[in-house]
Structure 1
């Protein structure tokens, strides 16, 4: 089976050609993550200069790497959804509800920690499946569907938490084994979440850029009707990606509960737009069909460096929002430039899927 790719083919073919024959400067300039790389290097140098030794210390590195790890676990599947032409705004509520699930089951009710973790992850998968099913069966834009899920699940979590526990914050003693796996600190500074993030990057990177499934994702985001005509299970691909997004958000909810030994219904709402910002900075198009896992990683690092680096400069932290806003605009303009370069020079090709 062959798939005619319109916009995604440059992104994948450029990634492959560099590995086979050596990348020239022109080749690198046409890669989807080039703009994100320039952004990451720029903000790192900026805060290394103005943040001084504290920013470059182990504690400084831990501050933005820990933020990047938690955000990255969510941003990677959200980015894949955006490559496929969809959005998921429900990740904040999924994180909070999953966090409360493990805390209530294993903290308030006293069940084994593994039971609470499995239930929390299953909840994330279930919400993702529901989102995917509604989007594919009703053709209602995913922005609307997941916005409704964000609000509805948030209200459900708040209501059930008050009914069951009488409070909106639940403590938990996760036990040492689960804490070491999901929510401890290495050397008192770095979260174990960093290793889970790296694992997710490697697995998803292989799926998107090496396996045939990656062709399906790019094809669905480029032109879903053409993809369907070639035999690609468009609905199945989208539902799977929504489930992955739900699983990523639930995983961070579990990690935070293990790390802080408690859960609150208000957790996670900042991840809704932060994950999208990181993905956009990483060069993924909101219209779908274009992007890379490396770009998402770089976008996540850039966001984390800016959000934490401002505190090491001694400046008013209110400026962080301004810097981030300017960065987003610059990143979008830069990524559009590199994308036009890629599409104007890379030939349209047929790829096996």
Structure 2
């Protein structure tokens, strides 16, 4: 008669080694990365210019300005809110800078500081009003969008007699400010805009904040369940207001790059961009319900935008097809994100 073998001790799930696939699917940006690789491979095959230095500079530049905004919008969406004024805000900040520099004679750096204060004030107001009234941020920021659009057109026309402000190159401080926000970097004889470096820096900073800091934990908490977050001591109002201010700061940064690069700004510039920022964030893995997403994923979503938009141009296709591409990418991203989220929830149990 053989002795009964003692049962093996249970494995502590906290130290158990998870499979590589399980670790992979919990990353929100995985779907966007696969999509970016497919888009890159496709246009690399069907066009000749896409892989050239000039081609890469073009689609990276296209993606960079969108990417800066998409990353900030992604943080806000993870926190459970939306900002429909983000697009028009890029024009508002550029107009404030341009009017102060060209009409009031301010140094460009002082004008940039004033437009930054303006942007942060609008962002703080959006966040405060959402928290104070309990209204959906969709409605609050839609109102801000309409108000800013009217202010942009009305004030610009009243001061300049048109809907455009130009003449930035003749202002004091333009060269030094342009060197920071609108310069280029030579790579193999090809000029790459500094906006690409800003995009990388903003993405890296946002990713670090989101996954390595207490504030990042607060963002996920307030987006997942505001009531539960408040119950465990998360400063709900402060977190959401700061998120709206972050989106406004990103709009100021993009607006500053635009006005210093092109030396002029249209009062109706940026309208419609808010939907592209949200789409890029969703393609990058953010859920519309909040509490789930990635800053890196939003940056990859913007990269897909840039590659597709310029790839269609290089392929000499009708640019109308880009909207079809956007619709397909958005629907695909929503389906993929839901599938990855369900898989991630099973892995974490």
TM over 0.5: yes
Q: What is the CA deviation profile of residues 41-63 of structure 1, one whole-angstrom value per residue up to 9, with x for unaligned ones?
A: 11111111112x20111111111
1:117 and 2:112 are equivalent in the alignment = yes
- In structure 2, the partner of 1:27 is 23
Q: State how far apart, in whole Å, the 2-side matches of 1:343 and 1:89 are.
A: 30
- In structure 1, the partner of 2:185 is 186
1:107 and 2:109 are equivalent in the alignment = no
Q: What is the CA deviation profile of residues 54-102 of structure 1, one whole-angstrom value per residue up to 9, with x for unaligned ones?
A: 0111111111111111011111111111001000000122111111111
- In structure 1, the partner of 2:67 is 72
- In structure 1, the partner of 2:280 is 278
Residue 23 of structure 1: CA displacement?
6.8
Mapped contact 2:181–2:195 kept (Cα < 8 A): yes
Residue 216 of structure 1: CA displacement?
0.6
Q: State how far apart, in whole Å, the 1-side matches of 2:36 and 2:137 are.
A: 30
Q: State how far apart, in whole Å, the 2-side matches of 1:189 and 1:313 are.
A: 22
1:236 and 2:256 are equivalent in the alignment = no
Q: State how far apart, in whole Å, the 2-side matches of 1:31 and 1:253 are.
A: 31
Q: What is the CA deviation profile of residues 252-280 of structure 1, one whole-angstrom value per residue up to 9, with x for unaligned ones?
A: 11110000011111111132111001000
Q: State how far apart, in whole Å, the 1-side matches of 2:319 and 2:67 are.
A: 23
Summarize the Cα distance change of 1:23–1:302 in structure 2 as closer, same or farther, 3 Å threshold: farther
Mapped contact 2:99–2:165 kept (Cα < 8 A): yes
Q: State how far apart, in whole Å, the 1-side matches of 2:233 and 2:34 are.
A: 38
Q: State how far apart, in whole Å, the 2-side matches of 1:22 and 1:184 are.
A: 46
Q: State how far apart, in whole Å, the 1-side matches of 2:234 and 2:56 are.
A: 43
- In structure 1, the partner of 2:85 is 90
- Give 1 or 2 for the bigger CA radius of gyration: 2
With the length of structure 1 as denominator, give the TM-score of the two structures. Answer: 0.89
- In structure 1, the partner of 2:6 is none
Q: State how far apart, in whole Å, the 1-side matches of 2:18 and 2:60 are.
A: 30
Summarize the Cα distance change of 1:296–1:22 in structure 2 as closer, same or farther, 3 Å threshold: farther
- In structure 2, the partner of 1:262 is 264
Q: State how far apart, in whole Å, the 2-side matches of 1:238 and 1:310 are.
A: 38
Q: State how far apart, in whole Å, the 2-side matches of 1:189 and 1:310 are.
A: 22
5+ residue gaps, structure 1 = 1-16, 348-353
RMSD (CA atoms): 1.7
Residue 163 of structure 1: CA displacement?
1.6
5+ residue gaps, structure 2 = 1-14
Q: What is the CA deviation profile of residues 145-182 of structure 1, one whole-angstrom value per residue up to 9, with x for unaligned ones?
A: 00110011110111111122222111111522111101
Mapped contact 2:71–2:296 kept (Cα < 8 A): no
Which 4+ stretches in 1 moved above 4 angstroms? 20-23
Residue 109 of structure 1: CA displacement?
2.3
- In structure 2, the partner of 1:316 is 318
Q: State how far apart, in whole Å, the 2-side matches of 1:194 and 1:329 are.
A: 28
Aligned equivalent of 2:205, options 203, 206, 209: 203
Aligned pair count reads 328
